[in-house]
Amino acid sequence: MSIFKNFIYLFTLFITLDAFCFISEPLIYEVEEKVSTLEKIAKINHSHVKNRFSSIEKYVQKLREWNPHIKNENKIFMGTEIYVDYPYSPNSGHKWAPKIFWANKPTQPRYSFFGFLTSSMGTFNETVSSQNVTVTSKQNSPITFGLGGNIPFDTDRVWSFNTSIYASYLTGQTTNRSEEVSVDPEIGLNLYLQYALPSNPYYSFFTGVDIERFSTFNTDDLITGASIDTRTQLMSFATLGFNRLFMPGGKPFLFKVSYSQGVTSSSNAVGKEFTGSKYMIYLNYKVFSKILVHLLFKHHSLTGPTELSITRYGGGIGWSFK
């Protein structure tokens, strides 16, 4: 339960920091639909400004003033960025704001690519059934670096291909040994096919393959007096997941959950491979137009030389490339 409390606390901290950071950058809304209108965008984003603009009509007038780059307010194409709150710096003597993207025609889908940095904590609980012994160890990651992308197959972005790859620097230690253990970096690759509901693209489903290379300790040998060492595990998983996108204050907030069943497994130690499953919960919130924060919770349930449970949670920052 303490893990979930920490998880919620960290996300609340990110949201609070965003509230303070908002004063430094205008609030921008990116059109997700194939074609939208200024009035529809006003209705989506009105909730966070209704204390200043009581009616949609007054808000639409302000949107026109803040967004002179809009050529046709009845045909605003997917990918266009809209200032949805006062965009001008209070420190400036004139009304100037950075130029933002205007999609002048609905031609090619907009590909998106991103990078991310994450810090996480991992707890390994292992039980050696034959000896009735349970050992807890840690594999924490001070830094994980990753890259990813989304490639739509059509202008409506109903079908798309999602992928990401990451590498985690790890430090390891078991509870019954005082010394730290050198652990090879964890490497992961995700390949997903995603389907967004045409009637409501804020809901989407995805399926695909996860590949993970990670290290485990030789826990089953430790209890017989062996020196501590690590083993390399390579596992592939078949994954099924669900995305739900929210737009609080016109900013994308993504909730993602997935379940993965192990398909293949191998180890550099003969006969020491694991099989099993995992699930993950992931939260992603865009703070600024190109900056986002995220939190994750991931749990593995594996069987092999020991009964192994891995719990990892962490958070970090990401950025999108236009």
In tens, the pLDDT along 9-58 reads 555 544 444 444 434 445 788 887 778 899 999 988 888 788 888 899 99
* CA 26 to mean position of chain CA atoms: 23
Domain 109-321 has CATH 2.40.128.100: yes
The domains of the chain are located at: 10-83, 109-321
Give the helix/strand (H/E) hosting 42: helix 38-45
pLDDT value for 184? 92
| Second-level CATH architecture of 10-83 | Roll (3.10)
pLDDT value for 22? 39
* pLDDT band, residue 229 (cuts 50/70/90): confident
**Are the C-beta atoms of residues 219 and 135 closer than 8 Å to each other?**
yes
Side chain identity at residue 137, one-letter code: S
For the chain, what percent of residues have pLDDT higher than 70? 81
Q: In the predicted model, is pLDDT for residue 162 greater than 90?
A: yes
Q: In the predicted model, is pLDDT for residue 134 greater than 60?
A: yes
* CA 235 to mean position of chain CA atoms: 21
Q: In the predicted model, is pLDDT for residue 163 greater than 50?
A: yes
The torsion of the CA quartet 48, 205, 209, 7, rounded to 10 degrees, works out to: 40
pLDDT value for 178? 58
User: What average pLDDT does the chain have?
Assistant: 83
87-115, pLDDT tens digit by residue? 765 544 445 566 665 555 554 556 789 99
183-219, pLDDT tens digit by residue? 899 999 999 999 988 888 789 999 999 999 999 988 8
Distance CA 64, CA 214 (A): 53
First to last CA, the chain: 39
Of 97 and 228, the structure prediction assigns the larger pLDDT to 228
**Are the C-beta atoms of residues 239 and 256 closer than 8 Å to each other?**
no
pLDDT value for 250? 64
Nearest C-alpha neighbor of 87 from the set 245, 250, 247: 250
Backbone angles phi, psi at 175, to 5 degrees: -70, -25
In the block, residue with structure tokens 């009616």: 55
